[in-house]
Structure 1
Amino acid sequence: MIDEFAKEYLHDDLRSIRETVLWKLDGLSEYDVRRPLTVTGTNLLGLVKHLSIMECRYFGEVFGRPSPEPVAPWDVDDDGTDMWATEHETREEIIGRYRRVWKHSDATIDALAIDSPGYVPWWPRPDVKLFNILVHVLTETSRHAGHADILREQLDGSTGAAAEYAHLEPDRATWAARRAAIERAARAAAADAPH
């Protein structure tokens, strides 16, 4: 009983956070979803591309259920193109691939018991259960959703965890006042710190 509850709970959270990641692209220009916003080049569309590849591997080959989506083998030298979209990849292709990967991942999760064995050849302890992979993919997706939150805020000040709650976010004046208070506190703490 608890196994099915745990599996469904984790799966529901994964479904929700996937949608949040895609929501962060809504309303942005082609340039803004692709442009590098950190020193390492992190960008919104690249995060989606990376998450689709990651899910393909974890809910596909780890359980002997290869995804119909083509993905380079895990042991092929990576040139980093899993983290950004080339000029030849469209936003629609990348988002569409991610949604198709969800279906395959969801089918794997639905078909297997939470203690079903899997094998992750790139992990130091490669023998895993579906539970381990559910937690890992949820953690990884949540981590990148956090990156997407910050990138989107940098682009246009948009914040929030889900489209249905966006109307509850404070207005720009409230954010500006909060930022100013934090800045004052940081400067005061720095001035009082021992040199």
Structure 2
Amino acid sequence: MTGPDPKSDLHHYLGVARDALLWKLEGLAEYDVRRPLTPTGTNLLGLVKHVSGCEIGYFGETFGRPFPDPPAWLRDDAEPNADMWATADEAREDVVGLYRRACEHADATITELALDAPGVVAHWPEERRRVTLHQILVHMVSETTRHAGHADVVRELVDGAVGVRRDLSNLPPGDRRWWSGYRDRLETAAREAGRG
């Protein structure tokens, strides 16, 4: 699991976040993995697609290790936000497959390079674009965990499923009735605070 090696620790937590993100797609219909459930269009498959691009760029181009055959939606001339949703022609299996290949490519970079290996993030501001593998690992643990959190909320809106894994909700035990009462209590407290 984790130990005295910082690279192994970071790699482990990146893996945990990756697994959490992919779990959010399990057992859902095509419509549900693509549905935009926020005003900005956040959807489960789009989050996986976006993080695929992050893995490809940060662990590939940054360290002079380009990903073979990168998708067209990663080009500079791609439609804005093309990485945040899947078209009807983009199969879920293809998006998930791309993510798995991007992670394998990233894992090779992580394994083969030292934490102090230098890289350049071309799209970052000049004063911050020179990085190390250590910085990028921290960035990607943060990035992936952030989007896994988005996916957790979206999945809860779809069918009520929550947690890091199917077998680990990381929430107090309670049935639907308990959670309904709990939510009502929070709503009451929010209304009272809003009036005060």
The CA distance in 2 between the partners of 1:9 and 1:79, in whole Å, is: 34
User: In structure 2, what is the Cα distance between the partners aligned to 1:167 and 1:137?
Assistant: 22
Q: Partners in 1 of 2:69 and 2:14 — Cα distance?
A: 20
| Aligned-partner residue type, residue 10 of structure 1 | L
Cα 1:37/1:79, change in 2 over 3 Å: same
CA distance in 1, matches of 2:53, 2:32: 22
Q: Could you give the per-residue CA deviations for residues 82-106 of structure 1, whole angstroms, max 9, x where no partner exists?
A: 1000011001110111011111100
CA RMSD of aligned residues (A): 1.9
**2:93 counterpart residue number:** 92
Q: 2:178 aligns with which of 174, 179, 192?
A: 174
Distance 1:59 1:23 in 2: 23
What secondary structure does 1:128 align onto?
strand
One-letter code of the match for 1:130? L
Q: Quick one: distance in 1 between partners of 2:170 and 2:129?
A: 44
Mapped contact 2:49–2:86 kept (Cα < 8 A)? yes
Counterpart Cα distance in 1 of 2:67 and 2:137: 17
Q: Distance in 2 between matches of 1:171 and 1:74?
A: 47
Q: What is the CA-CA distance between 1:74 and the residue it aligns to?
A: 5.6
Normalising by structure 2, we get a TM-score of: 0.90
The alignment partner of 2:119 has SS state of strand
The match for 2:130 is 127
1:69 deviation in Å? 4.2
Asked if residue 151 in structure 1 is aligned to residue 158 in structure 2, the reply is: no
> Compared with structure 1, are the counterparts of its residues 99 and 81 closer, same or farther at alpha carbon in structure 2 (3 Å cutoff)?
same
Structure 1 residue ranges without an equivalent (≥5) = none
Q: For 1:20 and 1:180, how far apart are their aligned partners in 2?
A: 28
Residues 17-67 of structure 1: CA distance to partner in whole angstroms, max 9, x if unpaired?
101001011111100100111111110000000110111000001001111
CA contact (8 A) 1:117 1:127 kept: yes
4+ residue stretches of structure 1 with deviation over 6 A?
Answer: none
SS across alignment from 1:118: strand
Structure 2 gaps, min length 5: none
Task: Tell me the distance in 1 between the aligned counterparts of 2:6 and 2:178.
Answer: 39
CA displacement at 1:71 relative to structure 2: 3.3
1:137 aligns with 2:119: no
Q: Normalized per residue, which structure has more helix?
A: 1
With normalisation by structure 1, the TM-score equals: 0.91
Once the two structures are TM-superposed, the CA of residue 156 in structure 1 deviates from its matched residue by 1.2
- Tell me if 1:115 matches 2:119: no
Number of residue pairs the alignment of both structures matches: 190
Instruction: Give 1:14 shift.
Output: 0.4
In structure 1, distance between residues paired with 2:138 and 2:77: 25
